[in-house]
Structure formats: C-alpha cells, structure tokens
C-alpha cells in the first residue's frame, strides 16, 4: 500500500513538474511560478495520506506490546515519508540544471520545510478532531443532564426502564468521547522528525 501511494505521489509530482516546464517554455511565466509550489504541496498531502495509511494498517496488525506497535508504525511512516519526500523530489528534478530553476529542487525543498514547520503545529493547536465533535457537544444541555441523572437515579423495575438506563449510559460515553481532546500520535511525531533530519 505504501509503495502504491509513493508511486502515485511520484506521478503527481512528475506531472506537475512537466506542466510547469511546458508553461515556462511557452512564455506563461506567471502561471508557471504559481505551479512552482504544487509539487511540494502534493508531496506534503501524500505524506499525510501515508501516515494515515500506516496508522490504520498498523492497528490491524498484532503486536505483543503497545510500544512495539508504535515503533512499527513510526518505522513504516519514517521510511515511506523519507522516500516520498527526498526520493520523489530528487528524481523529479534529478539534473543539476533543474535544482536552482524556478520551481526546481531548491524551491520544492524550501516549501516542504516551510510546510513542516508551520502546518503541523497549527493543526495540533486547533485540534480539528475536537472541533468536528462540536455538534455532539452542543446536544448536552442542562436539561439533558438532569434527565440523565433522573433516569439513572431510579431503580429499574421493568425491562423498558433497564433499556432506557442502558441507553443513558451509552449517551454518557458518547459525550465523554466528544469532550475528550484528540490523542497525540507519537509515531507520526517521531517519523516527521526523522524525515526532516534525513531529508535536509
């Protein structure tokens, strides 16, 4: 799966690079300079997809401990992102004359480093997962809390009351998850740090 994603990323970056060269040669320099950022953005987006795939696939594998699971995910993410970042960008602009051209290797590396320095802290700060659960949190009102307390405070004597109490307990778990912040992804943090240090 990772190899397929890397091949897709290479195809996208190579296509964008060739489109940029064609526009530059045809005299449309303004459009060409706006396309200069796209290969690095494409690699950045594919790195996010690769991390998501590594995490989802890693959860389906069996490990003896949580530490081994995190190590395995971080290793897969690191190798895939290093190949996707350094390998794809280098092979797209392999000749030295392409390195310093507009939209060449230097520009792509600068944009990639800028994205790695700015985007992850912003995403972590705003906690998009927590923001997406706002609709569920808005359903918990004072009246709903009082109703749940009253339901759980009564002793269930009929099967309907027992089912209602079971539903209230399920709702409490749903609201607890909605108020919890998104968990930290340690494997991704280490993989990104390794990728940046090796790719530079």
Cα within 13 Å of Cα(161), Cβ side: 9
Q: Is the model's pLDDT at 51 over the cut of 60?
A: yes
* Pair 102, 32: CB distance under 8 Å: yes
Report the predicted TM-score, pTM, of the whole model to 2 decimal places: 0.61
pLDDT computed for residue 12 by the predictor: 76
Longest dimension (CA), the chain: 82
Average pLDDT score, the chain? 77
pLDDT band at 33 (very low <50, low <70, confident <90, very high): low
pLDDT band at 86 (very low <50, low <70, confident <90, very high): confident
Share of residues in the chain with pLDDT > 90 (%): 0
Q: Is the model's pLDDT at 150 over the cut of 80?
A: yes
Q: Is the model's pLDDT at 9 over the cut of 80?
A: no
pLDDT band at 19 (very low <50, low <70, confident <90, very high): confident
- Neighbouring C-beta atoms of residue 47, cutoff 10 Å: 25
Find the helix or strand (DSSP H, E) in which 114 lies.
helix 105-126
Integer Cα distance of 188 and 56 in angstroms: 12
The DSSP letter of residue 87 is: I
Share of residues in the chain with pLDDT > 70 (%): 84
Integer Cα distance of 149 and 194 in angstroms: 50
pLDDT computed for residue 36 by the predictor: 64
Residue 95 three-state SS: coil
Q: Is the model's pLDDT at 199 over the cut of 70?
A: no
Q: Please provide the distance, in angstroms rounded to a whole number, between the alpha carbons at the two ends of the chain.
A: 26
pLDDT digits (tens, 9 = 90+) for 160-183: 888 888 888 888 898 888 888 877
Distances (CA, A) of 132 to 53, 84, 103, 127: 21, 29, 36, 9
How many helices (DSSP H) and strands (DSSP E) are in the chain? 12, 0
pLDDT computed for residue 31 by the predictor: 61
Q: Tell the residue number behind the tokens 């809390």, with chain if given.
A: 145
């Amino acid at each position: 799966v990772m190899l397929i994603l890397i091949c897709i990323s290479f195809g996208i970056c190579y296509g964008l690079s060739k489109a940029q060269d064609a526009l530059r040669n045809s005299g449309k320099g303004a459009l060409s300079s706006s396309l200069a950022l796209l290969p690095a953005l494409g690699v950045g987006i594919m790195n996010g997809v690769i991390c998501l795939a590594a995490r989802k696939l890693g959860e389906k594998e069996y490990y003896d401990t949580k530490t081994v699971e995190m190590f395995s995910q971080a290793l897969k993410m690191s190798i895939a992102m290093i190949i996707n970042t350094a390998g794809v960008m280098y092979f797209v602009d392999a000749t030295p004359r392409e390195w310093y051209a507009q939209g060449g290797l230097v520009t792509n590396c600068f944009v990639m480093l800028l994205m790695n320095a700015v985007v992850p802290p912003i995403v972590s700060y705003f906690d998009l997962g927590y923001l997406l659960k706002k609709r569920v949190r808005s359903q918990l009102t004072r009246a709903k809390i009082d109703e749940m307390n009253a339901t759980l405070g009564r002793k269930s004597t009929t099967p309907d009351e027992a089912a209602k109490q079971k539903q209230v307990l399920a709702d409490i778990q749903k609201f607890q998850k909605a108020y919890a912040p998104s968990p930290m992804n340690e494997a991704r943090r280490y993989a990104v740090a390794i990728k940046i240090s090796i790719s530079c």
